[in-house]
Chains A and B, each alone.
Chain A
Amino acid sequence: MTFSDSPVLPTDHSAIAVPCRVLLVDDQALIAEALRRMLADQPNIECHYVSDARSALQTAVEFKPTVILQDLVMPEFDGFELVRQFRTHSVTRQVPIIVLSSKEEPKLKAHGFALGASDYLVKWPDKLELLARIRYHSAAYMNLVKLAQANAELERLGRMKNEFISTVSHELRTPLTSIRGSLGLLTGGAVGQFSAQAKSLLDIANKNCERLVRMVNDVLDIDKMESGNMPFELINQSLVRLAEQAIQATQGYAQQYNVGVQLQCDMAELADIEVAVDRDRMIQVLVNLLSNAIKYSPAGTAVEVRIRREADSVRLSVADHGNGIPKEFHDRIFQKFGQVDATDSRQKGGTGLGLSICKSIVEEHRGSIDFHSEVGRGTEFYVILPLPSDAVPVRAQTTIQ
Protein backbone atom coordinates (compact mmCIF):
# COMPACT_ATOMS: atom_id res chain seq x y z
CA MET A 1 0.00 0.00 0.00
CA THR A 2 1.31 3.42 -0.86
CA PHE A 3 0.97 6.35 1.51
CA SER A 4 -1.61 8.11 -0.64
CA ASP A 5 -3.87 5.04 -0.45
CA SER A 6 -4.37 5.56 3.27
CA PRO A 7 -8.07 5.89 4.00
CA VAL A 8 -7.56 7.99 7.13
CA LEU A 9 -5.03 10.64 6.30
CA PRO A 10 -5.86 13.32 3.76
CA THR A 11 -3.73 13.02 0.64
CA ASP A 12 -0.44 14.89 0.74
CA HIS A 13 -1.66 17.49 -1.63
CA SER A 14 -4.90 18.46 0.10
CA ALA A 15 -3.30 18.40 3.54
CA ILE A 16 -0.51 20.74 2.50
CA ALA A 17 -3.05 23.16 1.08
CA VAL A 18 -4.53 23.77 4.55
CA PRO A 19 -2.61 26.45 6.48
CA CYS A 20 -1.45 25.14 9.87
CA ARG A 21 -0.87 27.45 12.79
CA VAL A 22 1.07 25.47 15.35
CA LEU A 23 1.38 26.66 18.93
CA LEU A 24 4.36 24.95 20.50
CA VAL A 25 4.45 24.87 24.31
CA ASP A 26 7.64 23.54 25.87
CA ASP A 27 9.74 24.91 28.69
CA GLN A 28 12.94 23.25 27.50
CA ALA A 29 14.58 25.54 24.99
CA LEU A 30 16.65 22.81 23.36
CA ILE A 31 13.72 20.50 22.70
CA ALA A 32 11.61 23.38 21.51
CA GLU A 33 14.35 24.43 19.13
CA ALA A 34 14.64 20.93 17.70
CA LEU A 35 10.87 20.77 17.13
CA ARG A 36 10.82 24.20 15.53
CA ARG A 37 13.50 23.07 13.12
CA MET A 38 11.36 20.11 12.13
CA LEU A 39 8.54 22.48 11.26
CA ALA A 40 10.68 25.20 9.71
CA ASP A 41 10.44 25.78 5.96
CA GLN A 42 7.45 23.46 5.64
CA PRO A 43 4.84 24.85 3.24
CA ASN A 44 1.84 26.40 4.96
CA ILE A 45 3.05 25.80 8.50
CA GLU A 46 3.45 28.73 10.83
CA CYS A 47 4.87 27.97 14.25
CA HIS A 48 4.63 30.08 17.37
CA TYR A 49 6.64 29.11 20.43
CA VAL A 50 5.81 29.67 24.12
CA SER A 51 8.32 28.62 26.75
CA ASP A 52 6.24 29.55 29.78
CA ALA A 53 3.22 27.31 30.13
CA ARG A 54 1.57 29.88 32.39
CA SER A 55 1.20 32.30 29.50
CA ALA A 56 0.35 29.58 26.95
CA LEU A 57 -3.41 30.04 27.16
CA GLN A 58 -3.21 33.80 26.67
CA THR A 59 -0.82 33.36 23.73
CA ALA A 60 -3.17 30.76 22.19
CA VAL A 61 -6.12 33.14 22.48
CA GLU A 62 -4.15 35.77 20.53
CA PHE A 63 -2.40 33.46 18.05
CA LYS A 64 -5.47 31.31 17.29
CA PRO A 65 -3.68 28.05 16.50
CA THR A 66 -5.15 25.28 14.36
CA VAL A 67 -3.21 22.77 16.42
CA ILE A 68 -1.40 22.86 19.78
CA LEU A 69 1.77 20.86 20.31
CA GLN A 70 2.52 20.74 24.01
CA ASP A 71 4.92 19.04 26.34
CA LEU A 72 3.38 16.93 29.09
CA VAL A 73 6.03 16.96 31.76
CA MET A 74 7.21 20.46 32.54
CA PRO A 75 8.95 21.22 35.84
CA GLU A 76 7.11 24.49 36.40
CA PHE A 77 3.67 23.49 35.22
CA ASP A 78 1.55 20.36 34.97
CA GLY A 79 0.96 19.54 31.30
CA PHE A 80 -2.38 17.89 32.10
CA GLU A 81 -3.52 21.07 33.80
CA LEU A 82 -2.62 23.00 30.65
CA VAL A 83 -4.73 20.60 28.52
CA ARG A 84 -7.61 21.22 30.93
CA GLN A 85 -7.15 25.00 30.65
CA PHE A 86 -7.16 24.88 26.85
CA ARG A 87 -10.37 22.85 26.97
CA THR A 88 -12.20 25.34 29.16
CA HIS A 89 -11.50 28.44 27.06
CA SER A 90 -13.92 29.20 24.22
CA VAL A 91 -11.13 29.99 21.72
CA THR A 92 -9.15 26.79 22.33
CA ARG A 93 -11.97 24.44 23.37
CA GLN A 94 -11.95 22.61 20.06
CA VAL A 95 -8.36 23.17 18.91
CA PRO A 96 -6.62 19.79 18.57
CA ILE A 97 -3.90 19.22 21.18
CA ILE A 98 -1.00 16.89 20.45
CA VAL A 99 0.65 15.94 23.71
CA LEU A 100 4.37 15.21 23.63
CA SER A 101 5.68 12.95 26.32
CA SER A 102 8.81 11.03 27.03
CA LYS A 103 6.78 8.14 28.49
CA GLU A 104 5.14 5.38 26.52
CA GLU A 105 2.63 4.78 29.32
CA PRO A 106 -0.99 3.75 28.56
CA LYS A 107 -2.32 5.21 31.80
CA LEU A 108 -0.80 8.61 31.05
CA LYS A 109 -2.15 8.46 27.50
CA ALA A 110 -5.61 7.54 28.72
CA HIS A 111 -5.59 10.36 31.25
CA GLY A 112 -4.48 12.85 28.58
CA PHE A 113 -7.25 11.77 26.21
CA ALA A 114 -9.77 11.88 29.04
CA LEU A 115 -8.85 15.51 29.69
CA GLY A 116 -9.34 16.35 26.03
CA ALA A 117 -6.01 15.75 24.31
CA SER A 118 -6.44 14.78 20.66
CA ASP A 119 -3.22 12.88 20.14
CA TYR A 120 -0.23 11.56 22.08
CA LEU A 121 3.30 11.34 20.70
CA VAL A 122 6.32 9.89 22.40
CA LYS A 123 9.54 11.84 22.06
CA TRP A 124 11.23 11.88 19.72
CA PRO A 125 8.60 11.65 17.04
CA ASP A 126 9.64 10.95 13.50
CA LYS A 127 9.60 14.20 11.51
CA LEU A 128 7.42 12.79 8.74
CA GLU A 129 4.92 11.43 11.23
CA LEU A 130 4.85 14.65 13.26
CA LEU A 131 4.19 16.73 10.13
CA ALA A 132 1.49 14.31 8.98
CA ARG A 133 -0.25 14.48 12.38
CA ILE A 134 -0.02 18.28 12.51
CA ARG A 135 -1.54 18.57 9.04
CA TYR A 136 -4.18 15.94 9.76
CA HIS A 137 -5.34 17.61 12.97
CA SER A 138 -5.25 21.09 11.44
CA ALA A 139 -7.32 19.96 8.48
CA ALA A 140 -9.84 18.28 10.80
CA TYR A 141 -10.02 21.43 12.93
CA MET A 142 -10.54 23.67 9.91
CA ASN A 143 -13.39 21.40 8.79
CA LEU A 144 -14.90 21.72 12.24
CA VAL A 145 -14.62 25.51 12.06
CA LYS A 146 -16.28 25.52 8.63
CA LEU A 147 -19.08 23.30 9.91
CA ALA A 148 -19.62 25.55 12.91
CA GLN A 149 -19.79 28.59 10.61
CA ALA A 150 -22.24 26.82 8.29
CA ASN A 151 -24.28 25.81 11.32
CA ALA A 152 -24.39 29.36 12.66
CA GLU A 153 -25.47 30.57 9.22
CA LEU A 154 -28.24 27.96 9.09
CA GLU A 155 -29.42 29.01 12.53
CA ARG A 156 -29.45 32.63 11.41
CA LEU A 157 -31.48 31.73 8.32
CA GLY A 158 -33.83 29.67 10.48
CA ARG A 159 -34.42 32.65 12.76
CA MET A 160 -34.98 34.88 9.72
CA LYS A 161 -37.50 32.37 8.36
CA ASN A 162 -39.36 32.31 11.66
CA GLU A 163 -39.39 36.10 11.88
CA PHE A 164 -40.61 36.28 8.29
CA ILE A 165 -43.43 33.81 8.92
CA SER A 166 -44.42 35.64 12.06
CA THR A 167 -44.39 39.05 10.36
CA VAL A 168 -46.32 37.81 7.32
CA SER A 169 -48.92 36.12 9.51
CA HIS A 170 -49.39 39.28 11.56
CA GLU A 171 -49.55 41.47 8.46
CA LEU A 172 -52.19 39.16 6.96
CA ARG A 173 -54.36 39.59 10.00
CA THR A 174 -55.03 43.28 9.49
CA PRO A 175 -56.69 42.99 6.06
CA LEU A 176 -58.31 39.74 7.23
CA THR A 177 -59.95 41.64 10.09
CA SER A 178 -61.78 43.91 7.64
CA ILE A 179 -62.71 41.03 5.33
CA ARG A 180 -63.87 38.69 8.08
CA GLY A 181 -65.68 41.57 9.77
CA SER A 182 -67.55 42.63 6.63
CA LEU A 183 -68.46 39.09 5.55
CA GLY A 184 -69.43 38.12 9.08
CA LEU A 185 -71.81 41.08 9.40
CA LEU A 186 -73.30 40.44 5.96
CA THR A 187 -73.83 36.69 6.44
CA GLY A 188 -74.89 37.19 10.04
CA GLY A 189 -77.80 39.34 8.92
CA ALA A 190 -76.61 42.45 10.77
CA VAL A 191 -77.33 44.73 7.82
CA GLY A 192 -80.40 43.23 6.20
CA GLN A 193 -81.35 40.33 3.94
CA PHE A 194 -80.00 39.29 0.54
CA SER A 195 -81.32 37.27 -2.38
CA ALA A 196 -80.73 33.53 -2.10
CA GLN A 197 -77.97 33.70 -4.72
CA ALA A 198 -76.20 36.61 -3.07
CA LYS A 199 -76.51 34.86 0.28
CA SER A 200 -74.96 31.64 -1.02
CA LEU A 201 -72.04 33.58 -2.51
CA LEU A 202 -71.51 35.48 0.72
CA ASP A 203 -71.64 32.21 2.65
CA ILE A 204 -68.93 30.76 0.39
CA ALA A 205 -66.76 33.83 0.86
CA ASN A 206 -67.33 33.79 4.61
CA LYS A 207 -66.64 30.06 4.98
CA ASN A 208 -63.36 30.37 3.10
CA CYS A 209 -62.39 33.49 4.98
CA GLU A 210 -62.87 31.59 8.24
CA ARG A 211 -60.63 28.85 6.88
CA LEU A 212 -57.97 31.39 5.92
CA VAL A 213 -58.09 32.84 9.43
CA ARG A 214 -57.60 29.36 10.89
CA MET A 215 -54.67 28.77 8.56
CA VAL A 216 -52.96 32.02 9.53
CA ASN A 217 -53.48 31.11 13.20
CA ASP A 218 -52.18 27.58 12.66
CA VAL A 219 -49.10 28.79 10.77
CA LEU A 220 -48.34 31.15 13.65
CA ASP A 221 -48.83 28.33 16.17
CA ILE A 222 -46.45 26.05 14.26
CA ASP A 223 -43.92 28.86 13.97
CA LYS A 224 -44.10 29.58 17.70
CA MET A 225 -43.87 25.94 18.61
CA GLU A 226 -40.88 25.35 16.34
CA SER A 227 -39.02 28.40 17.60
CA GLY A 228 -39.81 27.51 21.22
CA ASN A 229 -41.80 30.71 21.75
CA MET A 230 -45.09 29.11 22.66
CA PRO A 231 -45.77 29.84 26.33
CA PHE A 232 -46.98 26.82 28.32
CA GLU A 233 -48.49 27.24 31.75
CA LEU A 234 -48.84 23.78 33.28
CA ILE A 235 -51.42 23.62 36.06
CA ASN A 236 -52.79 20.46 37.69
CA GLN A 237 -56.39 20.07 36.61
CA SER A 238 -59.10 17.59 35.76
CA LEU A 239 -58.93 16.25 32.23
CA VAL A 240 -62.63 15.38 32.43
CA ARG A 241 -63.49 19.04 32.94
CA LEU A 242 -61.31 20.06 29.99
CA ALA A 243 -62.96 17.41 27.84
CA GLU A 244 -66.39 18.74 28.83
CA GLN A 245 -65.34 22.26 27.86
CA ALA A 246 -63.96 21.06 24.52
CA ILE A 247 -67.20 19.16 23.85
CA GLN A 248 -69.19 22.25 24.66
CA ALA A 249 -67.02 24.35 22.34
CA THR A 250 -67.73 21.97 19.42
CA GLN A 251 -71.44 21.53 20.15
CA GLY A 252 -72.59 23.85 17.37
CA TYR A 253 -70.27 22.17 14.92
CA ALA A 254 -71.58 18.72 15.90
CA GLN A 255 -75.17 19.86 15.41
CA GLN A 256 -74.28 21.22 11.99
CA TYR A 257 -73.08 17.71 10.99
CA ASN A 258 -75.90 16.00 12.93
CA VAL A 259 -73.33 14.08 14.95
CA GLY A 260 -73.62 13.32 18.66
CA VAL A 261 -70.74 13.52 21.11
CA GLN A 262 -70.64 11.20 24.14
CA LEU A 263 -68.27 11.43 27.06
CA GLN A 264 -67.58 7.99 28.55
CA CYS A 265 -65.57 7.73 31.71
CA ASP A 266 -65.70 6.27 35.17
CA MET A 267 -66.20 9.36 37.28
CA ALA A 268 -65.43 7.47 40.51
CA GLU A 269 -62.08 6.37 39.12
CA LEU A 270 -61.22 9.80 37.78
CA ALA A 271 -62.72 11.91 40.55
CA ASP A 272 -59.52 13.32 42.01
CA ILE A 273 -57.18 12.71 39.15
CA GLU A 274 -55.47 15.80 37.90
CA VAL A 275 -52.93 16.19 35.11
CA ALA A 276 -50.45 19.05 34.70
CA VAL A 277 -51.60 20.75 31.50
CA ASP A 278 -51.84 24.16 29.89
CA ARG A 279 -55.60 24.62 29.86
CA ASP A 280 -55.95 26.59 26.61
CA ARG A 281 -53.47 24.45 24.68
CA MET A 282 -55.00 21.17 25.82
CA ILE A 283 -58.49 22.40 24.93
CA GLN A 284 -57.02 23.36 21.54
CA VAL A 285 -55.89 19.72 21.11
CA LEU A 286 -59.23 18.27 22.20
CA VAL A 287 -61.25 20.67 20.06
CA ASN A 288 -59.07 19.77 17.10
CA LEU A 289 -59.50 16.01 17.61
CA LEU A 290 -63.24 16.48 18.18
CA SER A 291 -63.70 18.68 15.10
CA ASN A 292 -61.87 16.12 12.95
CA ALA A 293 -63.94 13.24 14.36
CA ILE A 294 -67.19 15.19 13.86
CA LYS A 295 -66.53 16.22 10.28
CA TYR A 296 -65.52 12.71 9.23
CA SER A 297 -68.52 11.09 10.97
CA PRO A 298 -71.59 9.98 9.02
CA ALA A 299 -74.70 11.95 10.02
CA GLY A 300 -76.67 10.32 12.80
CA THR A 301 -73.65 8.63 14.43
CA ALA A 302 -71.86 9.63 17.62
CA VAL A 303 -68.29 10.54 18.45
CA GLU A 304 -67.10 8.87 21.65
CA VAL A 305 -64.72 10.61 24.02
CA ARG A 306 -63.25 8.16 26.55
CA ILE A 307 -60.99 8.97 29.46
CA ARG A 308 -59.40 6.28 31.55
CA ARG A 309 -56.70 6.02 34.08
CA GLU A 310 -53.66 3.82 33.38
CA ALA A 311 -50.79 2.90 35.71
CA ASP A 312 -48.91 6.19 35.55
CA SER A 313 -50.86 8.10 32.93
CA VAL A 314 -54.29 9.16 31.76
CA ARG A 315 -55.52 8.09 28.35
CA LEU A 316 -58.02 10.24 26.49
CA SER A 317 -59.42 9.10 23.19
CA VAL A 318 -61.75 10.48 20.56
CA ALA A 319 -63.33 7.87 18.31
CA ASP A 320 -65.54 8.27 15.25
CA HIS A 321 -67.48 5.86 13.03
CA GLY A 322 -66.31 7.40 9.80
CA ASN A 323 -64.56 5.93 6.79
CA GLY A 324 -61.25 5.43 8.55
CA ILE A 325 -57.82 6.42 7.31
CA PRO A 326 -56.34 4.28 4.49
CA LYS A 327 -53.14 2.52 5.58
CA GLU A 328 -50.93 4.25 3.03
CA PHE A 329 -51.59 7.60 4.75
CA HIS A 330 -50.89 6.48 8.30
CA ASP A 331 -47.23 7.52 8.24
CA ARG A 332 -47.89 11.14 7.42
CA ILE A 333 -50.98 11.84 9.45
CA PHE A 334 -49.10 14.04 11.95
CA GLN A 335 -47.03 15.76 9.27
CA LYS A 336 -47.80 19.28 8.17
CA PHE A 337 -50.26 19.29 5.27
CA GLY A 338 -50.41 15.49 5.54
CA GLN A 339 -54.14 15.10 4.93
CA VAL A 340 -55.39 11.97 3.27
CA ASP A 341 -56.91 13.85 0.39
CA ALA A 342 -56.29 17.52 -0.30
CA THR A 343 -59.63 18.04 -2.06
CA ASP A 344 -61.44 16.34 0.76
CA SER A 345 -59.68 18.54 3.29
CA ARG A 346 -60.54 21.71 1.39
CA GLN A 347 -64.18 20.71 1.42
CA LYS A 348 -63.99 19.90 5.11
CA GLY A 349 -62.39 23.26 5.82
CA GLY A 350 -59.22 21.87 7.36
CA THR A 351 -55.87 23.61 7.35
CA GLY A 352 -53.63 20.56 7.21
CA LEU A 353 -51.76 21.74 10.28
CA GLY A 354 -54.09 20.78 13.12
CA LEU A 355 -52.72 17.33 13.96
CA SER A 356 -49.13 18.50 13.64
CA ILE A 357 -49.91 21.23 16.18
CA CYS A 358 -51.69 18.71 18.43
CA LYS A 359 -48.64 16.46 18.40
CA SER A 360 -46.31 19.33 19.30
CA ILE A 361 -48.58 20.46 22.16
CA VAL A 362 -48.99 16.95 23.55
CA GLU A 363 -45.24 16.33 23.37
CA GLU A 364 -44.65 19.63 25.16
CA HIS A 365 -46.68 18.03 28.00
CA ARG A 366 -44.35 14.98 27.90
CA GLY A 367 -47.26 12.99 26.54
CA SER A 368 -47.87 11.11 23.33
CA ILE A 369 -50.55 11.06 20.65
CA ASP A 370 -51.38 8.29 18.20
CA PHE A 371 -54.31 6.63 16.48
CA HIS A 372 -55.92 3.37 15.37
CA SER A 373 -57.95 3.33 12.23
CA GLU A 374 -59.87 0.74 10.30
CA VAL A 375 -61.15 1.57 6.85
CA GLY A 376 -64.92 1.46 6.82
CA ARG A 377 -65.21 1.27 10.62
CA GLY A 378 -63.72 4.43 12.04
CA THR A 379 -60.75 6.07 13.66
CA GLU A 380 -59.68 6.54 17.25
CA PHE A 381 -57.12 9.20 18.17
CA TYR A 382 -55.71 8.94 21.66
CA VAL A 383 -53.61 11.15 23.87
CA ILE A 384 -51.60 9.74 26.77
CA LEU A 385 -50.56 12.22 29.45
CA PRO A 386 -48.29 11.35 32.36
CA LEU A 387 -49.75 11.70 35.86
CA PRO A 388 -47.82 14.02 38.17
CA SER A 389 -45.14 11.85 39.81
CA ASP A 390 -46.52 12.30 43.34
CA ALA A 391 -49.85 10.88 42.19
CA VAL A 392 -48.39 7.71 40.72
CA PRO A 393 -47.04 5.19 43.26
CA VAL A 394 -50.00 4.75 45.61
CA ARG A 395 -52.69 4.89 42.99
CA ALA A 396 -50.78 2.75 40.53
CA GLN A 397 -50.68 0.03 43.16
CA THR A 398 -54.39 0.15 43.79
CA THR A 399 -55.02 -0.15 40.07
CA ILE A 400 -52.87 -3.26 39.85
CA GLN A 401 -54.66 -4.88 42.80
Chain B
Amino acid sequence: MAHGELQTILYVEDDLDIQTVARLALEVVGGFTVHICSSGRAALATVEGELQPDLILLDVMMPEMDGPTTLEALRRLPKTAATPVVFMTAKVQGSETAHYRSLGAIGVIPKPFDPMQLAQQVRALWEQS
Protein backbone atom coordinates (compact mmCIF):
# COMPACT_ATOMS: atom_id res chain seq x y z
CA MET B 1 0.00 0.00 0.00
CA ALA B 2 1.30 3.43 -0.90
CA HIS B 3 1.60 5.70 2.11
CA GLY B 4 1.87 9.33 2.74
CA GLU B 5 3.01 10.45 6.16
CA LEU B 6 1.31 8.97 9.25
CA GLN B 7 -0.07 12.04 10.99
CA THR B 8 -3.65 11.69 12.16
CA ILE B 9 -4.76 8.80 14.32
CA LEU B 10 -8.31 8.09 15.41
CA TYR B 11 -8.21 6.25 18.73
CA VAL B 12 -11.35 4.43 19.90
CA GLU B 13 -11.18 3.44 23.57
CA ASP B 14 -13.81 3.42 26.33
CA ASP B 15 -11.42 3.58 29.32
CA LEU B 16 -10.77 7.25 30.13
CA ASP B 17 -7.48 6.63 31.95
CA ILE B 18 -6.07 4.60 29.10
CA GLN B 19 -7.24 7.36 26.71
CA THR B 20 -5.15 9.89 28.61
CA VAL B 21 -2.06 7.71 28.72
CA ALA B 22 -2.27 6.67 25.06
CA ARG B 23 -2.89 10.25 23.92
CA LEU B 24 0.31 11.40 25.65
CA ALA B 25 2.25 8.42 24.31
CA LEU B 26 1.11 9.10 20.75
CA GLU B 27 1.17 12.90 20.79
CA VAL B 28 4.14 13.75 23.01
CA VAL B 29 6.38 10.76 22.28
CA GLY B 30 5.22 10.07 18.73
CA GLY B 31 4.30 13.53 17.49
CA PHE B 32 1.00 12.38 15.97
CA THR B 33 -2.32 14.19 16.01
CA VAL B 34 -4.78 12.07 17.98
CA HIS B 35 -8.57 12.18 17.93
CA ILE B 36 -10.21 10.11 20.63
CA CYS B 37 -13.69 8.57 20.63
CA SER B 38 -15.12 6.67 23.58
CA SER B 39 -17.27 4.27 21.57
CA GLY B 40 -17.58 2.66 18.17
CA ARG B 41 -20.71 4.71 17.48
CA ALA B 42 -18.90 7.98 18.25
CA ALA B 43 -16.07 6.88 15.95
CA LEU B 44 -18.50 6.30 13.07
CA ALA B 45 -20.07 9.72 13.63
CA THR B 46 -16.61 11.32 13.71
CA VAL B 47 -15.47 9.85 10.40
CA GLU B 48 -18.78 10.76 8.82
CA GLY B 49 -17.89 14.37 9.68
CA GLU B 50 -14.69 16.19 8.82
CA LEU B 51 -12.00 13.85 10.12
CA GLN B 52 -9.96 11.73 7.71
CA PRO B 53 -7.67 9.60 9.87
CA ASP B 54 -4.52 8.02 8.42
CA LEU B 55 -4.86 5.12 10.86
CA ILE B 56 -7.45 3.90 13.35
CA LEU B 57 -6.53 2.35 16.70
CA LEU B 58 -9.41 0.24 17.98
CA ASP B 59 -9.92 -1.18 21.45
CA VAL B 60 -11.42 -4.68 21.15
CA MET B 61 -13.59 -4.91 24.26
CA MET B 62 -16.03 -2.02 24.36
CA PRO B 63 -19.64 -2.04 25.54
CA GLU B 64 -22.40 -1.93 22.93
CA MET B 65 -20.18 -2.02 19.81
CA ASP B 66 -16.96 -3.96 20.21
CA GLY B 67 -13.82 -3.43 18.14
CA PRO B 68 -14.51 -6.03 15.42
CA THR B 69 -18.09 -4.75 14.95
CA THR B 70 -16.80 -1.18 14.73
CA LEU B 71 -14.22 -2.28 12.16
CA GLU B 72 -16.94 -3.87 10.04
CA ALA B 73 -19.01 -0.67 10.14
CA LEU B 74 -15.95 1.47 9.32
CA ARG B 75 -15.25 -0.72 6.29
CA ARG B 76 -18.72 0.07 4.94
CA LEU B 77 -18.02 3.82 4.96
CA PRO B 78 -16.25 4.94 1.76
CA LYS B 79 -13.96 7.25 3.72
CA THR B 80 -12.59 4.53 5.98
CA ALA B 81 -13.08 1.51 3.71
CA ALA B 82 -9.32 1.21 3.24
CA THR B 83 -7.96 3.00 6.32
CA PRO B 84 -5.44 0.79 8.16
CA VAL B 85 -6.80 -0.42 11.51
CA VAL B 86 -4.78 -1.65 14.49
CA PHE B 87 -6.49 -3.43 17.38
CA MET B 88 -5.45 -2.86 20.98
CA THR B 89 -6.55 -5.44 23.46
CA ALA B 90 -5.96 -6.97 26.86
CA LYS B 91 -7.27 -10.24 25.45
CA VAL B 92 -4.10 -11.33 23.68
CA GLN B 93 -0.41 -11.51 24.22
CA GLY B 94 2.40 -10.87 21.81
CA SER B 95 2.05 -13.09 18.83
CA GLU B 96 -1.62 -13.94 18.51
CA THR B 97 -2.21 -11.63 15.63
CA ALA B 98 -3.59 -14.12 13.12
CA HIS B 99 -7.19 -13.85 14.30
CA TYR B 100 -7.17 -10.06 14.27
CA ARG B 101 -5.52 -9.94 10.87
CA SER B 102 -8.24 -12.20 9.52
CA LEU B 103 -10.75 -9.58 10.67
CA GLY B 104 -8.95 -7.05 8.51
CA ALA B 105 -6.60 -5.35 10.97
CA ILE B 106 -2.98 -4.70 10.01
CA GLY B 107 -1.86 -5.68 13.50
CA VAL B 108 -2.60 -5.91 17.17
CA ILE B 109 -0.94 -4.24 20.13
CA PRO B 110 -1.40 -6.08 23.40
CA LYS B 111 -2.25 -4.22 26.59
CA PRO B 112 -0.57 -3.25 28.78
CA PHE B 113 1.54 -1.50 26.14
CA ASP B 114 4.89 0.17 26.73
CA PRO B 115 3.99 3.89 26.46
CA MET B 116 7.47 4.90 25.31
CA GLN B 117 7.31 2.30 22.51
CA LEU B 118 3.64 2.69 21.50
CA ALA B 119 4.13 5.34 18.83
CA GLN B 120 7.02 3.40 17.31
CA GLN B 121 4.96 0.19 17.30
CA VAL B 122 2.09 1.94 15.53
CA ARG B 123 4.45 3.48 12.99
CA ALA B 124 6.11 0.11 12.32
CA LEU B 125 2.72 -1.54 11.66
CA TRP B 126 1.76 1.37 9.40
CA GLU B 127 4.98 1.06 7.42
CA GLN B 128 4.61 -2.72 7.04
CA SER B 129 1.02 -2.56 5.86
Do A and B form a real pair?
A: yes
User: Chain A: residues with CB nearer than 8 A to chain B?
Assistant: 170, 173-174, 176-182, 184-185, 188, 190-191, 213, 217, 220-221, 231, 280-281, 284
Q: A181-B22, A190-B115 are in contact. Are A221 and B15 (CB under 8 A)?
A: no
Q: Are A174 and B116 within 8 A (Cβ)? A: no
Q: Are B24 and A170 within 8 A (Cβ)? A: no
Q: Are A181 and B18 within 8 A (Cβ)? A: yes
CB neighbours of B112 from chain A (8 A) = 173, 176-177, 179-181, 213
- Assess whether B57 is interfacial by the CB under 8 Å rule: no
Q: Are B116 and A188 within 8 A (Cβ)? A: yes
Q: Are B90 and A190 within 8 A (Cβ)? A: no
Q: Are A178 and B28 within 8 A (Cβ)? A: no
Interface of B is mostly: loop
- Assess whether B5 is interfacial by the CB under 8 Å rule: no
CB neighbours of B94 from chain A (8 A) = 280, 284
Q: Are A181 and B113 within 8 A (Cβ)? A: yes
Among A180, A191, A284, chain B packs the most CB atoms within 10 A around the CB of A180
From A279, which residue of chain B is reached at the shortest CB distance? B95
CB neighbours of A280 from chain B (8 A) = 94-95
What is the distance, in angstroms, from A40's C-beta to the closest C-beta of chain B?
64
From A212, which residue of chain B is reached at the shortest CB distance? B112
A170, A185, A213, A284: the one contacting B25 at CB < 8 Å is A185
Q: Are B111 and A185 within 8 A (Cβ)? A: no
CB neighbours of A179 from chain B (8 A) = 112
- Assess whether B96 is interfacial by the CB under 8 Å rule: yes
What is the distance, in angstroms, from A277's C-beta to the closest C-beta of chain B?
13
- Assess whether B50 is interfacial by the CB under 8 Å rule: no
Q: Are B90 and A177 within 8 A (Cβ)? A: yes
Q: A170-B90, A177-B112, A181-B113 are in contact. Are A191 and B28 (CB under 8 A)?
A: yes
Q: Are A220 and B24 within 8 A (Cβ)? A: no
Q: Are B91 and A178 within 8 A (Cβ)? A: no
Q: A176-B112, A231-B96 are in contact. Are A185 and B17 (CB under 8 A)?
A: no
Q: Are B114 and A177 within 8 A (Cβ)? A: no
Instruction: Name 13 extra pairs, CB < 8 A, besides A173-B111, A188-B115.
Output: A170-B90, A173-B90, A174-B15, A174-B90, A176-B112, A178-B17, A180-B114, A181-B18, A185-B21, A190-B116, A191-B28, A220-B93, A281-B95
